[in-house]
Amino acid sequence: MTLVQNFHKYIQGVEFVQSVAQGDRFEHIISEKDKSGLMTLVVGMDSISHRIDLPSKKVLIHLLKNQRRADSVIWEKRDESTYRLHIFELKRTVTEAKWQLIKDQFQGAFFVSLCIAKILGLEVDTHVGLYTVYYEDQLDAVDNFTDNALSDVEPDLPAKTKKAILEWTNDLCPFDFTGYLGQIKFLHKKIHLPNIKDGIPVGTRYITG
């Protein structure tokens, strides 16, 4: 039984989509539509991988307190039973409030992925990629600053706002995990979609290693 067949034997409501060969790469197309419009990202990888698009409103794991979900999770095979997770959230505009939401969505998608992995008898790699895909950045107000420098520039900036800006600009996505989860390294990367095609922000990202 293939991995996809095994997935659908136990799990319903979502698809486990295999990447499509395009020349010497294997690609996924991730799209998201919200109130502000549609966004599309093409993700290229060196080897075959699988993708789960998580529904935002349908509860997958009732027992999880965090019911928020990132848009898509790509499962990259590292060896026979270990997969590296690449979690994607698409937001047309990033603000302070949306950054907090994005972090919650990353965490929720990670927990769901852990549950799925255990059901399928798979291990999750200790490195997890987190990707915020966006068109407009309203959070990166100050470039190349330190904590003290930001205080000098914005002396009245609320601590919560300051924390969000520091996390976003420095690609920090801290989770307060302990035990086994405390060993997981979450690596955040921003993916800007500067190009507009037919009114839709589009872009391509190649992921290797």
Say if strands 25-34 and 20-22 run parallel, antiparallel, or are unpaired: antiparallel
CB atoms near residue 134 (< 10 Å): 21
Most distant CA pair in the chain: distance in Å? 61
Tens digits of residue pLDDT in 124-169: 999 999 999 999 998 875 554 555 555 555 667 788 888 888 899 8
**CB-based contact 176:200 (threshold 8 Å):** no
pLDDT of residue 29: 95
- The domain spans of the chain are 3-207
pLDDT of residue 150: 56
**CB-based contact 167:174 (threshold 8 Å):** yes
Q: Which helix (H) or strand (E) holds 43?
A: strand 37-45
Tens digits of residue pLDDT in 102-123: 999 999 899 889 989 999 999 9
State the Cα–Cα distance between residues 172 and 93, nearest whole angstrom.
Answer: 18
DSSP state of 182: G
- Does the pTM surpass 0.75? The reply is yes
State the Cα–Cα distance between residues 40 and 65, nearest whole angstrom.
Answer: 30
- For residues 64-103, one letter each, b for 16 or more C-beta atoms within 10 angstroms of the residue's C-beta and e for the rest, the string is eeebbbbbbbbbbbeeeeebbbbbbbbbbebebebbeebb
